[in-house]
Structure 1
Amino acid sequence: MSILLAVILPVFLVIGAGGLAARRGAISAAGVDGLMRFSQGIAIPCLLFKAMATLNLGQDFDVRLVATYYTGSLACFLIGTLAARRLFGRDWEDSVAIGFVALFSNSLLLGLPITERAFGSGSTSANFAIIAFHSPFCYAVGITAMEIARAHGHPPHSIPAKILRAIFSNALIVGILLGLIVNLAGLPIPTVADEALDMLIRAALPTALFGLGGVISRYRIEGDLPTILFTLALSLLLHPAIAWSLGSAFALPQDAFRSVVVTAAMAPGANAYLFAAMYGRAMRVAASCVLLGTALSILTAAGWLALLP
């Protein structure tokens, strides 16, 4: 209970405050959208830029860490896609959208603040190493699978261009790439620019969490309950279990092990719904998974944290 109160509950109270404000009309739908555009289009890219620019690549980047997290992520995508098709009778395009829900954990808005609150700000280097690959990997997998499912005679050579356009139009990915360029080139960040970045960074996670609550408040859990529960079991239980097993097998350092398990245990992120909406497939399942998964992760994340050293 102390873990729940001290670490997880404050994060979800901010999300809940955003949801309550949106429901009560204290902030309009346009205001919520503005907060999310600010946080995801400006503040969080600045956060990722600074993190990537100052990351010690030789010390913090570990192939074992990336392999541990993304093996579990890809396994959940494949199982979710095949189960949606074979077990729940969805067509291939719906199935890919459902698989994407199991693929895309909320590594940034939930995984990062929960890891920081649980283990301290110095314990999040592995989180940023995971986040650096998260959107590029997930969108590359999801878009590739969806475009193959949608091909129906279209030339396969058009698929790579669609994937690249979708990836490099994402502000989060642009922030990551620019930060890596600065890091690899050894370029200093001027003091004035660094202080301005820090001001934006301090606003990034609170505004994103508050805005996420406003976005979630728009959805209702409707229908397809077996599909929703199965997909959430992959996200909240199977993915962290795989991460725990592989992290133990690879003998990950303690901070990296904690980060990979916590990140894998997070609910599906809002991008899971955005991906479904982009293709107009399985949107109700995706929205319900984001809503119910975020609520359930209060309990499941507390359980995984209690098991961690």
Structure 2
Amino acid sequence: MNGGEQIGMGGAAALEKLIPVALAFGVGVLLARRKVVPAEASKAFADYAFLFAVPCYLFGNIYAADLSALFDWRAIGGYAAAAALAVAAVAAASAAAGLRDPRAVALRVMAGVQVNTAYFAVPVFITFFGTAAPIFPVLLFQVCVLSLVVIAIMELGRAGPGAGGPARRLSRAVSASLVTPLVLACNAGILLNLLSVHVPEVVLDGAAFVGDSASPVALFALGLHLGGIGLDVRGTTREEVALIGFKCVAFPLLAWAVCGALFGVRGEWLTYLVLIAAMPTPQNLFIFAQRYDVGVNLSAAVVIKSSLVSLLLLPLWLQAVSA
């Protein structure tokens, strides 16, 4: 068998693994377009996944995980370094393009560097690897570092009476981000794991039962949302193309180079980190844009379009990194 045939077979195998992802996502789009299920219902499905199903999945898996293997500090350090370089690159490009509002720059940094973990990475990793546990360290880094930086800039740039002083606004935002169900479930799983606290099997079975629904429901919700708002490809702006290209191509390449060449990450962890970096822009970008009244239309377009581009490129990334 020659190299071309091996590459073709590898691509086909990677594509086959994405069939369940595309099915859940595509059926959501189809049902919303045909108005069988109202697109507005996507919020209810998304809330179920984000607030309940994904936290249940993460709690059970983290509690049962080998934390010493889960927290590969060389791998996480490499990803953090790549993310820092990506943040600097997006911020510099935004400034060069004439953006002076710190909130607008922070929003673009979030679009180009942060990844959709709960709605996209978790189901994809479960499909590819049978577990989403490798996402957890990156999830904590994203919530506790990247998101807090964005929140700090947004809150400090927020105007209006009654909002309180900068310190109060920042403290309130930080507290809100740290008590989300995702973070609480992750922290609870770590704490009980480290303390060797016995959790009854019935609780773990219940968490597993609910957690198993996280992947299809999250992807179905994303499909419903896309089917409802439609997709204007012809109206894609240069800035959208630049942000989506950076998120889906440049950032994964940067993670591959920094983690592999500079930090010496090899094997499964290198595959994990490149695929995580290749995930689309998170839906939280749109929530942040609405909350702080900055770049709302840009955010909605980047979230949806990066999701589609990422879905198409993931088999290629999996094949390239695994080669």
Q: TM-score, normalised by structure 2?
A: 0.86
CA distance in 1, matches of 2:269, 2:193: 21
Native 8 Å contact 1:22 1:32 kept in 2: no
Secondary structure in 1 aligned to 2:192?
A: helix
Aligned residues, how many? 307
Q: 1:18 aligns with which of 24, 28, 45?
A: 28
Deviation at 1:30, TM superposition (A): 4.2
CA distance in 2, matches of 1:209, 1:137: 26
Q: 1:239 aligns with which of 251, 260, 283?
A: 251
CA distance in 1, matches of 2:126, 2:57: 14
CA distance in 1, matches of 2:74, 2:119: 24
Please state if 1:95 is matched with 2:105: yes
Deviations 1:79-138 (CA, angstroms, capped at 9, x unpaired): 3234234315463322221221112212333333333433x326x442233223333333
Aligned residue in 2 for 1:141: 149
Aligned residue in 1 for 2:271: 258
Native 8 Å contact 2:156 2:170 kept in 1: no
Secondary structure in 2 aligned to 1:217?
A: helix
What percentage of aligned pairs have identical amino acids?
22
Deviation at 1:214, TM superposition (A): 1.3
* Equivalence map 1:6-155=2 (5 Å): 6-87=16-97, 89=99, 91-118=101-128, 120-121=129-130, 124-150=132-158, 155=165
CA distance in 2, matches of 1:238, 1:102: 9
Query: Where do 5+ consecutive residues of structure 2 fail to align?
Result: 1-10
CA distance in 2, matches of 1:184, 1:286: 39
CA distance in 2, matches of 1:278, 1:180: 31
CA distance in 2, matches of 1:281, 1:3: 41
Deviation at 1:151, TM superposition (A): 6.9
CA distance in 1, matches of 2:200, 2:185: 17
Q: Against the structure 1 CA distance between its residues 17 and 205, is the aligned structure 2 distance closer, same or farther, given a 3 Å change threshold? A: same
Amino acid across the alignment from 2:292: Y
Bigger radius of gyration among the two:
2
CA distance in 2, matches of 1:15, 1:188: 37
Query: Where do 5+ consecutive residues of structure 1 fail to align?
Result: none
Please state if 1:290 is matched with 2:303: yes
CA distance in 2, matches of 1:64, 1:306: 23
Amino acid across the alignment from 1:121: G
Aligned residue in 2 for 1:193: 203
Q: Against the structure 1 CA distance between its residues 4 and 116, is the aligned structure 2 distance closer, same or farther, given a 3 Å change threshold? A: same
Q: TM-score, normalised by structure 1?
A: 0.89
CA distance in 1, matches of 2:313, 2:264: 24
CA distance in 2, matches of 1:31, 1:193: 29
